[in-house]
Amino acid sequence: MVRPDAGTEEHQGPGKSRAGGGGRGKNGWGPGQRRPGDEVSFRKILSTGLAGPSSAVPDAGPEGENIIDGVVARVSFAVALAAAMLVAATLWFGYRDAIAQARVTADGLSYGLQRALEGLVGRIDLSLSMVVDATGRFPDGAVEPDSPDGLIRRLKETMPEIQALQVTDAAGRVIHGSSDIASGLIAIADRDYFIRLRDDPDAGLVVSVPLRGRISDLWSVVFARRLTGADGSFKGVVLAAVPLERFRALLSGLDAGPSGTLGVRGSDYSLIIRVPGAPRDANPLSYLAGTRDFEAAVAARPDGGVYRARTGPDGVDRILAYRRLHGVPMFVIVGLAVDDQLAAWRDQGLVLTTGGLLFLLLVAGCCRGLRRTLRRQAERSLATRRELDATRSLLDLTPAGVALLGADRRPVAMNRAFAALLGDPSGAVPDSGPVAAGPFPSPKSRRILEGLCRRAYPAMLSGAMFSDTVPGRGADGRPMRFFVRARLRDPSVPAMGSVWGGWAPEDADGGALTPEFFRALVDKAADCVFVADPCQGFRVIYANDAACACFGTDRDGLSSWRMSDWDLSLAPSGALEEFWQRVREQRAVVVRTRYRMRERAVVPVELSANILTLDGADYLCGSFHDIVGRLSTERALALKAEELERSNAELEQFAYVASHDLREPLRMVTSYLALLELRLGAELTDDLRDFIAQAGDGARRMDCLIRDLLDYSRIGRGALPATPVALSSVMTDVRRILSVRIADCGARLTVAEGLPTISGDRVELVRLFQNLVANALAYRHPGRTPDVRIAARQDRGEWIVSVSDNGIGIEPDHLERIFGIFQRLGPMGTRSDGTGIGLAICRRIIEHHGGRIWVRSTPGSGSDFLVAFVPASPPPSGTPA
């Protein structure tokens, strides 16, 4: 507050005239008047600022309420729209995934059904072929009376799936068969399959539509082959009748869901069997017609595919997968009902929809509460604004000058009297808002304020009230003396200061790093913190909020506790003193112990204790947190380690089985094949020799495969400790091991100088580069002399060793796949014949050494296999390979 001690009356005159000339002010009240019901707090005005409150909330009233309602409505709509879009997107992706999974499931079931039917039909066809071979070629159209009957009976006994196995002559009369019906009494010349085989010498295996037996009256499917005479003429057929119930039993073994279907169709798309199908007494011919969707799908993908359609007499929407049997004129079809496959998706949709509705209800409730809160805040803002307007009017009418100064010591707000006292002749200060924190009202006022601040701030920073008499001049230019009183408004808020309110300087730290700040920081810390006084028997003299919450009491209650009251390990006599001595010696100690928490619960904790020195006295400062979760994790890790140990032991047992028990039968097979070939000698035909050679080759390949698998599983297990290995000596061993192969193909193996020394297992490193060089020799280009080059370079702390060749190269699609197990680059029987494990072993070796391997290749030009190592020592200056 600034007031004149001489010439006050002269200064008040202009102030009153500027306030309204003795009439009503800008708010409609006379000088000194107050609106009824307004209790103005001058302290509130100074704490808020003469410029009024800063708020983004609209004032109360119809217009403000409309704005609030509009904002709340837009927020509600945006949240509801986002939630609906999220639920819709989740349901859409779930639907898409369910349909995709149904397609995969249907395709897998069709594959399994295809394999099962191919096995069944293959055995039936083999039986037919054996009967055809047994009948021989008929010289004059006659068949030996009993020649095939014995074979038919044996085949019928070994094939219970076959209902009847019969042979007919060219007239369709059954002349041999497994049934008890006398030969010649049954004729099948009118059957479609008989006619087709009679008219088409190249028909092969023919499958009929379901037929009702003329004697057994049972529905069955007939598989038949043609009997051809020596002159190529038609001599009859061999047929096997398989009951439909056999196919129904086979199909019923697969689960296609409540509304799913399984079926078999012929090559003309006619339906042979469908599960579930018609009742037993219904005519299966009602299901023979093919569907347009199935025919279109087969036309697009003859061997198999998946499509979606409404099929069957029930018209159910299904996802259907079909496959053509290899070498058999039949299709298998699996249909999964879309409703069955979407059951889980519908349940998920119900849960999501219910959750979404509940979320929308929650949002509606929150928006309703937000609307009420905003309206109340708007009402309070309006009341505060009215109060400030009234108070501003009163301050403008008072003869005393009142101003607020900011942290930069410039005016933030002032009344008219203060502006006039600073030398502004007009005293024109904007009514709506503070004076801009830029130029002062006049250069003279700047000098006055700068002088005041230089004298006032040292006193105010020490906490004292600044009082002084300041010489100056009034608005009319006459000399005047002003009595000034100033103090800091609030040291914790450095945004403003004031004359008659306070000036708030801004310190270097922004006023935040005060003792109160650090005290609040520790009080609100997540870890439990306490300080105990050893001189008082380790009684607690401080505990933060987290510690009080853990022990279930407040600071006053905790001040009577000692550490031994909650720490079970310190309860024995002398334990506290020993622990304190340990802390004093080590300065900081971390231990695990058990604390008795609230409700007498004992909890494992980790305690960090150190010494806190204040005013020459030592205190024990401790912070702790419970480690229940950590101990649980450690126990889980221990169990996992035990499982890993057990798994390793089982793997070692498997390695033994692979090396001994599995390879022993293969050696016996190879030995007995050799004995068989030796025993039979000249009696062996070329076909039998080829068969024995193929069996021996297969046994040897299986032995190589088992041996490579054993090597693959042993990599990194039981290895010797890593030692420095010079790669130059490794390459010498590789050259010696592969010398015969190198000489056979006339290859050049060039090893550059300066190969590094690597820390690792020498045996594994020799195996690594032996496989890479052997791979380069195996995949050599037929028109070029093999040229294999080995070099090394250093790149960003790694040694990159390259094995380059000029072979056939690798297609880009195979650059990563070749490192997988059982991945071969060439077909079996070529010079690249192998088990497909070599490069997988290379990758496993390099990963065991902490490195990496990759390949760059140009098809037809060669490949570069690159291996990255971490060096065991600085690179050598150069040593020959």
* pLDDT tens sequence across 806-857: 999 988 887 888 887 666 655 444 444 566 678 888 888 888 888 999 999 9
pLDDT tens digit sequence for 625-634: 888 888 888 8
Which pLDDT band holds residue 426 (cuts at 50, 70, 90)?
Answer: low
Instruction: Check residue 570 and give its pLDDT.
Output: 86
136-245 has CATH 3.90.1110.10 classification: no
pLDDT band, residue 683 (cuts 50/70/90): confident
- Give the position of tokens 């990255």: 868
Lowest mean pLDDT among 22-26, 233-237, 418-422, 819-823: 22-26
Q: Please, are residues 330 and 272 in contact by the beta-carbon 8 Å criterion?
A: yes
Dihedral sign computed on CA atoms, order 167, 169, 174, 176: negative
Q: Return the domain boundaries, the chain.
A: 136-245, 515-626, 632-711, 719-869
Show Cβ contacts of residue 610 under 8 Å, excluding neighbours closer than 6 positions. 583, 587, 588, 589, 621, 622
pLDDT higher than 80, residue 488: no
Residue of higher predicted confidence among 844 and 215? 844
Beta strands in 534-641 (DSSP E): 539-543, 588-596, 602-614, 617-626
Cis amide linkage into residue 875, ω under 30° from 0: no
Q: How far, CA to CA in Å, does 384 sit from each of 7, 27, 32, 48, 387? A: 36, 15, 20, 10, 5
pLDDT at 84: 87
Q: What type of residue sits at position 520?
A: A
In the block, tokens 């004729």 appear at 187
What tokens does 201 get? 């010498």
Lowest mean pLDDT across 180-189, 211-220, 292-301, 522-531: 180-189
Do residues 81 and 439 touch, judged by C-beta distance below 8 A?
A: no
Amino acid at 839: L
Q: What's the mean pLDDT in 2-29?
A: 36
**Side chain identity at 428, as an amino acid letter?**
A
pLDDT tens figures, 728-758: 999 999 999 999 999 999 999 999 998 999 8
Model confidence, pTM: 0.39
Instruction: Please state, rounded to an integer, the average pLDDT across all residues of the chain.
Output: 76
The Cα 14–Cα 102 span in angstroms is 92
- Does domain 719-869 fall under CATH 3.30.565.10? My reply is yes
Q: What is the 3-state secondary structure (H, E, C) of 844-865?
A: HHHHHCCCEEEEEEECCCEEEE
Per-residue pLDDT at 237: 92
How much of the chain, in percent, has pLDDT values that exceed 70?
A: 69
Q: Establish whether domains 515-626 and 719-869 are of one fold.
A: no
Q: What are phi and psi of 357, to 5 degrees?
A: -65, -40
Q: Is 743 in a helix, a strand, or coil?
A: helix
The identity of residue 689, as a single letter, is R
Beta carbons of 408 and 435 less than 8 angstroms apart: no
Secondary structure element (H or E) that encloses residue 332, with its range = strand 330-337
Distance between CA atoms of residues 304 and 315, nearest Å: 22
> Which two tokens mark 314?
């029930």
CA angle 78, 83, 85 (to 5 degrees): 95
**Residue 794 above 80 pLDDT?**
yes
Q: CATH for 515-626, among 3.30.450.20, 3.20.20.100, 2.70.98.40, 2.60.40.10?
A: 3.30.450.20
Radius of gyration of the chain (CA): 50
Average pLDDT over every residue of 636-640: 91
Categorize the per-residue pLDDT at 612 as very low, low, confident or very high, splitting at 50, 70 and 90: confident
Under 8 Å between Cβ of 772 and 803: yes
Please, which residues have CB within 8 angstroms of residue 816's CB and are 6 or more apart in sequence? none
Pick from 222, 140, 209, 207: which is nearest to 177 by CA? 222
